[in-house]
Amino acid sequence: MIRLILGDLIDNLRIWLGAALIAAVAAVVGAIVASDIQTATQVGGTAGLALYGISGTVILFSAVTSVVVLGSITNLAVALHQRSYALWQLVGLGPQQVRRVVKAQLALMALIGGAAGCAAAVPLLRPLFAFCFANVPQLRDITPAFSPVAVGAVIAYVLVTVLLGGSRGARRAAQIPAIQALREPEAPTKGMSTTRWLTGAALFLILVSIVVSLPGAEPEKAATSLMLIGPLTAGLLSALSPVFMVALLRRWTAVLPLPLPGWWHLARQAAAHHASQSTAVIIPLVMAVSLVGCLYASQGTAPGGDTFSIGGVVLLLGGPILLSLTGATVTLFMAGRQRDREVALLLVSGGTTATIVAAVVSEAVIYVTTAVLLAVPTVLATGLVGAWALDVPPVFGLGAVSTVVVASLVLITTAAVVPALLALRKNTVRTLAAE
C-alpha cells in the first residue's frame, strides 16, 4: 500500500505538488492568525485586546476561504485521478482500499504543505506586523510570537481541512464504476450530497439573520456584519455549485452575438465539460472578488466613510485573497496533463497554434467573467443593504473589485496559456499514446 501511495505521488507529481502548494499557502495564512492570537496572549492589555479583535475577523475570513479553496482543490486532485483509481480497481483493489489510499495521499500532501507553509511564514511575520501596524503606535513595536505549539495547531488545522474537503472526492473515487472511469477523461459530476444541502441551508440562514439584524444596529457593528456577507455568500455558492455551475457556463456563453469563431466554442465546451476544474477555478475567484468588494462596501456604512489603510486591507484580506488567487491559478497547473492531451487532439484534428491559443485565452476569460457574474451581485447587494439598513448613501467598492478582477484575469490567462504553449512543443504521437 505504501509503495502504491508513493508511486502514484511520483507519477502524478504535478497534481500533488499543486495540492501541496495550496496547503502551504493555507498554512501561511493560518500561521499569521495563530501568531496574532499567541502575541495577543503574551502582550495582554489594550494591545492584546486589539489583536484579539483583529484576529477574530481574520480567522473568519481565512477559515471560510480555506475551507472553500482547499475543498475545491482536493476534490479536483481526486477527479484528475479517476482513470488511475479505475485501474486500481481492475487489478484487485476494493473500494475501501481505494478510499484509504486517497485519504493517505491527501494527508501526506497536507502535512508536507502545512510544514512548509509554517517554515515560510516565520521570516514573514515580523515585517508583516511592521507594515500592517505602522500607523498604530500601540502595536507597531510588538514582536510577533509563533511557538512550536502554534505550528502544530496550524498543521493540524490544514490536515483536518484537507481531509474534510477531500472526503467527497475520496468517496467518488471509491464508488465510481471502473469501466465508466476508463471511458471518461473526467468522471461526470454528481448531484448534491446531503452535506452540501445542509451546508448551503446553514449558510443561507446565517445570511438571512445578518440582514435581519442590520436595521437599528450601530454603524460599527453593522459594518462588521456586512463584511461577512461576501465570504458567506461565496461559501454558499461553493456548496450549491453542482446545481448551477455547468448550466450557467453553457447559458451565458451561448447568449453572445453570433456568429462566433470556432475557438470560442472550443473554450465554452471545455469549460462546461471539465466541471471539477472549472469550479475549482471560479469559486476561489468569487471569494476574492466578494471579499474585497464587500469589505469596501461595508466600510461605507461606518462613520468617516472609506478609511481603510493599505496595511489594514492587507492584514484583513491579504491572506484570504492570496489563498484564493493561488488556488485558482494552481488549478490550471494541476490540470496540465489534461491540457497536453487536448492540445494534441486539436493538432491532429487540423487545429492551428493560433486557434489553440485563442481557445485557451477565451477559456480563461470565461472563468473570470463567470466569477464576476457571481460575485458582483453580492457586492452590489451588500452596498444596497447597508444603505437601506443605516440610511446612508450606498458604497460598492467597485474600484477595488476592478483591481482584483484585472489581477485575476492576468494570472488565470498566464496559467492557462503557458501549459498550452508547452504542450504545443511536445510530440503529439507520444502524448496521445501515453493516454
Q: Which residue has the higher pLDDT, 235 or 256?
A: 235
| Strand, coil or helix: 92 | coil
Residues 378 and 417: their CA atoms lie apart, in Å, by 30
195-219: pLDDT as tens digits: 888 989 999 999 999 888 888 778 7
Buried b / exposed e across 302-333, counting CB within 10 Å, b at 16+? beeeeebeebbbbbbbbbbbbbbbbbbbbbbb
Residues contacting residue 140 through CB under 8 Å, at least 6 positions apart: 129, 130, 133, 134
Query: Which tens digit of pLDDT belongs to each residue from 292-339?
Result: 988 888 876 655 555 566 777 788 888 889 999 998 898 888 877 777
Tens digits of residue pLDDT in 342-388 = 888 888 887 788 888 999 999 999 999 999 999 999 999 988 888 88
Domain residues of the chain, as ranges?
A: 1-188, 198-435
Distance of alpha carbon 297 from alpha carbon 316, whole angstroms? 15
Q: Which class for 249: exposed (0-12), middle (13-18), buried (19 or more C-beta within 10 A)?
A: buried
Give the span between the Cα atoms of 408 and 11, in whole angstroms: 30
